[in-house]
Amino acid sequence: MDAERPNILFLYADQHRADVLGSAGNDVVVTPHLDRLAREGVRCTNAWTESPICQPARASMLTGRYPTDHGILGNFVGDASPEWATVPQAIRAAGYDTASIGKTHYSSWPMGANGPEDTPPPADEWIASFGFDHVVEEFDRYVHVGSYDTPYVRFLQAHDALEPYQDAVRARFRSGDRHWEAVTSPLPQELDLTSFLAEEAHRWLGDRCGDRPWFLQLSFVQPHVPLMGDPQWAAFYADTDIERTAPAVPSTEHHGWDAHLGLLRRHSHSELLTDEFVLAGARQYYAMVSLIDQQIGALLELLEQREQLDNTLIVYAADHGEMLGDHGLMAKMNFYRSSVTIPLIVRPPGGAPPVVHDGPVQAIDIAATLLDTAGASTFGAGRPLTPLLSGADAGGDSRGHTHRDTALSMIRMRPGQPTWVGVTDGDLRCTFDHDTREVVEVFDMRADPDEATNLVMNQPDRPVEQLLDRAHDQLATVGSSG
Average pLDDT over residues 229-255: 92
- The sign one gets for the Cα dihedral 139, 363, 454, 22 is positive
**Residue 11 and residue 55: Cα distance in Å, rounded?**
17
Q: Report H helices in 225-363.
A: 231-236, 255-268, 275-305, 337-340
Q: What is the DSSP string of 170-190?
A: HTT-TTSTTTT--EE-SS-GG
- Closest residue by Cα to residue 220 from 294, 147, 326, 155: 294
Closest to 144 (Cα-Cα) out of 161, 165, 127? 165
| Contact of 453 with 433, CB cutoff 8 Å | no
- What pLDDT is recorded for position 115? 44
| Torsion-angle region of 395 (φ positive above 0: left; ψ -120 to 50: alpha; else: beta) | left
**Whether the Cβ atoms of residue 281 and residue 172 lie closer than 8 Å to each other:** no
Torsion angle of alpha carbons 150, 154, 159, 163, nearest 10°? 60
Percent of the chain with pLDDT over 90: 76
pLDDT the model gives residue 396: 38
Question: Which residues does residue 44 pair with via DSSP β-bridges, in sequence order?
Answer: 344, 357
Cα atoms in the Cβ-side hemisphere of radius 13 Å centred on 173: 14
DSSP 351: -
The pLDDT, as a whole number, for residue 318 is 99
Is 337 a residue whose pLDDT tops 50? yes
Q: What is the pLDDT of residues 118-172, one digit of tens each?
A: 455 667 888 999 999 999 999 888 888 877 789 999 999 999 999 999 999 998 8
Considering the chain, what percentage of its residues have pLDDT values greater than 70? 93
Instruction: Compute the distance between CA of residue 388 and CA of residue 217 in angstroms, rounded to an integer.
Output: 22
| Residue 307 vs residues 38, 150, 296, 350, 357: alpha-carbon distances, Å | 20, 33, 16, 11, 29
- The pairing of strands 312-318 and 341-347 is antiparallel
Residues 2-60 pLDDT 10s: 557 899 999 999 999 999 999 999 999 999 999 999 999 999 999 999 999 999 999 99
Contact 221, 175 (CB under 8 A): no
463: CB partners within 8 A, 6+ apart? 427, 428
Domains annotated for the chain, with CATH where assigned, are 7-405 (3.40.720.10)
Rounded Cα distance, 58 and 61, in Å: 5
Q: Per-residue pLDDT tens for 290-305?
A: 999 999 999 999 999 9
Q: Is the dihedral of CA 449, 452, 454, 459 positive or negative?
A: negative
Instruction: Specify the pLDDT at position 399.
Output: 31
pLDDT the model gives residue 3? 54
| Residue 270 pLDDT > 80 | yes
Pairwise CA distance, residues 439 & 310, whole Å: 47
Which has the higher per-residue pLDDT, 191 or 1? 191
Q: How confident is the model at residue 78 (pLDDT cuts 50, 70, 90)?
A: confident
Distance CA 107, CA 144 (A): 17
Rounded to the nearest integer, the mean pLDDT of the chain is 91
In sequence order, what DSSP letters do the residues of 390-421 get, joined into one string?
GSTTTT--TT---S-S-EEEEE-SSTTS--EE
Between CA 153 and CA 138 the distance in angstroms is: 9
Q: How far apart are CA 404 and CA 267, in angstroms?
A: 34
How many residues are present in the chain?
482
Give strand pairing partners of 110.
none
Q: Do β-strands 7-13 and 312-318 pair in parallel, antiparallel, or remain unpaired?
A: parallel
pLDDT at 462: 75
- Write the pLDDT tens digit of every residue in 370-411: 999 999 988 999 999 999 987 654 443 323 346 899 999 999
Distance between CA 59 and CA 37 in Å, rounded? Answer: 26
**If DSSP codes are grouped into helix, strand and coil, which group holds residue 90?**
helix
| Interval 182-224: pLDDT, tens | 999 999 999 999 999 999 999 999 999 878 999 999 999 999 9
446-471 core/surface letters (b: 16 or more CB in 10 A; e: else): eeeebbeebbbeebeeeebeebbebb
Task: Tell me the C-alpha distance between 52 and 338, whole Å.
Answer: 10
User: Is the per-residue pLDDT at 227 higher than 70?
Assistant: yes
